[in-house]
Chains A and B, each alone.
Chain A
Amino acid sequence: MKQQIFIIAGALIVLILILVWVYLLFFGTPKSAQDVFSEFGLNGEVDNSIVEAPVEIEEVSTSPTERPKLRQLTTKLVAGFREVKNNNIPLVYFVEKGTGHLYSINPRDGEEVRLSGTTIPNTYKAAISSEGNFMAVSSFTNSKNQPLVVGEISTSSGALELVEGFKQNVRDFSISDSNELLYAMTVNSGLSGYAYDLETAKSKELFKLPFIEATIQWSKLGSLGSQYLYPKPSYALEGSLFEAKNNKVSRLPVDGFGFSALANDDIIIYSSTEGEKAISTIFNRETGVGEKLNTLVMPEKCFLPDSGYDLVCANESVQVPFEFPDVWYSGEFSFKDSLYLISSKELLSAELMVDTLTTSGRELDITNLQTGVNKTEIYFTNKNDDSLWIYEI
């Protein structure tokens, strides 16, 4: 009984499937392609608008962690630069070499804005005030006495409004944090230093030296601080360090052949030639003790704050020629520097911050080291091409 029911049910199912197949064979063929593919529209409507392929957007992060820590800030050649006060956000002002045009650049997004278009032909060196409202520019000539142009930048027109009376032959200059133009000029076969207050237009003498060929380390504190001076270095001639403060010049206890130095209230770092080898020493001014570094560190390649025992220096551990530092000044020898943090408070130590050649692929002969207002940025120029660089700590 059961077997007969199963056979009848199976035969019925097979018959139904045959009938469905016959129906589809003769009546189920689609009349057009639209009958084959479904069209999905709103509420059953047909949407005929063109659907474009989605554009692939490459995400560009602006978070500081993804920017290269070491990078070139501008392609322009730089005559002078300074990080200016800008509500704790880094903003760098720089003067273009050759033209004297003033620019600002935001180190975070690289936005570059021309602030002053007043052209000062043959601009070679520039200094900018801490708020970016004054600048001083010297031009290259065939003489070491250079004409100096000092001006205030108009906030409305961007033009440079010249401060009169600064066309003398100036040997060196800087602008302090207190808006004083510090400059040295030859007077009666000697060198005299002055501080000119850019706000009040008052001038005062800082020092008077009987020699002319001097390298000057200007104080950021202006006339209130110490100006350090030494005869320009040469491996064949002796030099020594002098401190000018309160219109009095005193001799400091460091000297040597090929002598160059960088000083603050606590330490003096200096390089000199001992025998036929150039060496560097850190002299503790409190204890009167000098400690030799095991590698040559040029003071011209260091940043030293007004006080304290830590300094940032650029250095390459390499054998230098016998005629060093003369051949470095003449551009016949150059370095491929790395940046180091040197501490000399108790035990002398050095910590590598960045190997610039490996990191950037460029040969950087670092000079003009400065730190930013927040102490989180280090700026410098490459002596090889006067380009401006940043390293974010």
Chain B
Amino acid sequence: MKYVFFILVFILIPVSFSFAQSNLSVGSEGLSIDIEPTYIKPLSKFTVSLNDYSFGSQVAGIKWQINNKLMSESANERSVSLVSPEQGGQMVIEAVVELVGGGKSVARKVITPTYLDIIVEPQTRTPFFYQGRSLPSIDSRMNLIALVNGTTVSSNDLIYTWQLNNKVVDGGSLRGKNTITITIPMGQYNIITLEVSNLAGESLVRRSIQVRNFTPKVTFYEVSSLYGQSKRAVTNLSLISDSDSIQAEPYYLDIETYNKPDLLEWKLGGVKSPTSAGNPYQITLARNGGNGRSTVDFHVRNLTQLLQGSQGSFNVNF
């Protein structure tokens, strides 16, 4: 009798184990986990949902497990809100589905949150003291730099597919091409899309950004021969001393237009004034007897691309 019991135990254990394995099928056909948003940043909120639309069996209950820990408070919920792990971390999400009539099925998803930063560097003019970033204007050039963090794959082992307004840049995907230069087309704004894949062709992360086009604007600053250019913008100038130098700064003007403008002129009281040979963006105002009020105008423009230009003015009391 004792031997019969041991024989039965040895026969039944493998049978029960194989039964359990067959019911815990991972990613059963028609059963999956959807994630919103599709690409997740570290430490960000996201939602997972059970997709059993085309699953053949009827679902009796759902249990959610995160990194093998049961989320008892989310039992029988079809979607759950979660916070992604830190950069470099992974999250294994499992939905254990209990079927009507017994048995279980499991859907699994592994999350590796990734940062994809698209850094925009417009090649337009701002003065040397300006601590902000320049902004793009039509027909100016702009560098786009992609930084992928949170993945162990180096940038040379990644494939970058850049799009500008839904048109692929440089003819297609390029390996290690994390930097591109574009020329800003006409329009109010541009949509830049980047998809990063690994060498196996698996999409790791995708992102779109919208960048507005700006019109160049002129701001004026006083210039001291000793202390250099002031950081305070001038709108109205009182000429206290005998003379004063003023620098015009055409913010967001394309660098090439700034360096070689087709048109650059100063007007004092509506009359064209000669420009300085050394620095055409600077004018020296000198008191020439009497007093009063006048307007100083400045105009710079690329005559081939008329939107690459700007004009501005300020009042001077002397």
Cβ–Cβ contact A232 & B128, under 8 A: no
| B41 proximity list for chain A (CB < 8 A) | 253
Cβ-based interface call for B227 (8 A): yes
The interface on chain B, measured as residues whose beta carbon lies within 8 A of the other chain's beta carbons, has a size of 43
Bound Cα distance from A326 to B212, whole angstroms: 15
The residue on B at minimum CB distance from A329 is B132
Does B145 touch A at the CB level, under 8 Å?
Answer: yes
Contact assessment for B128 and A143 in the assembled complex, using a CB-CB cutoff below 8 Å: yes
Kindly state whether residue B117 has any CB partner on chain A within 8 Å. Answer: yes
Select B233's contact among A99, A142, A237, A331, beta carbons within 8 Å: A331
Q: Size band of the A side of the interface?
A: 35 or more
19 CB < 8 A contacts A-B:
A99-B226, A140-B228, A189-B179, A210-B119, A210-B145, A211-B119, A213-B134, A233-B131, A234-B133, A251-B115, A251-B117, A251-B150, A288-B43, A288-B86, A300-B131, A331-B219, A331-B230, A384-B232, A386-B227
B52 part of interface (Cβ distance < 8 Å): no
Residue A303 is within 8 A (CB to CB) of chain B in the complex: no
A140 touches B229 (CB 8 A): yes
Instruction: Give the CA-CA distance A240 to B87 in the complex, in Å.
Output: 14
Give complex CA distance A287, B209 in Å. Answer: 30
Residues of A within 8 A of B243 (CB): none
Docked complex: B116-171 residues within 8 A CB-CB of A:
117-121, 128-135, 143, 145, 147, 149-150
Residue of B nearest to A142 (CB): B128
Q: Which of A213, A329, A332 contacts B121 (CB 8 A)?
A: A213
Whether the pair B178, A210 counts as a contact (CB closer than 8 A) is yes
Contact with B132, one of A144, A210, A233 (Cβ below 8 angstroms): A233
Name the residue of chain A whose CB is nearest to the CB of B227: A98
Q: Least Cβ distance of B71 to chain A in Å? A: 20
Do B231 and A331 touch (CB < 8 A)? yes
For window 198-243 of chain B, which residues contact chain A by CB distance below 8 Å?
209, 211-212, 214, 219, 221, 224, 226-233
Separation of A142 and B255 alpha carbons in the complex (Å):
12
CB distance from B158 to the nearest CB of A (A): 13
Pairs A-B, 4 closest by C-beta atoms: A251-B149, A232-B133, A329-B132, A98-B226
Flag whether A325 is at the interface (Cβ < 8 A). yes
Find out whether the CB atom of A146 lies under 8 angstroms from the CB atom of B128: yes
Interface centre among A143, A237, A326, by most B CB within 10 Å?
A: A237
**Chain A CB within 10 Å, residue with most, of B117, B211, B221:** B117
A212 contacts B121, C-beta separation under 8 Å? yes
Interface assignment of B309: CB less than 8 Å from any CB of chain A: no
**With A143-B128, A238-B209 given, can you name 18 additional A-B contacts, CB distance below 8 Å?**
A124-B128, A140-B129, A140-B228, A144-B128, A210-B178, A210-B179, A212-B121, A213-B134, A231-B119, A231-B121, A233-B131, A233-B132, A234-B132, A234-B134, A250-B87, A253-B43, A253-B86, A288-B86
Residues of A within 8 A of B119 (CB): 210-211, 231
Is the pair B131, A332 in contact by a Cβ cutoff of 8 Å?
Answer: no
Residue of B86, B87, B131, B211 touching A329 (CB-CB under 8 A) = B131
Task: Determine the chain A residues whose CB is within 8 A of the CB of B135 once the complex forms.
Answer: 234, 236-237, 326
In chain A, positions 236-252 with a C-beta closer than 8 Å to chain B are: 236-238, 240, 250-251
**Closest residue of B by beta carbon distance from A300:** B131
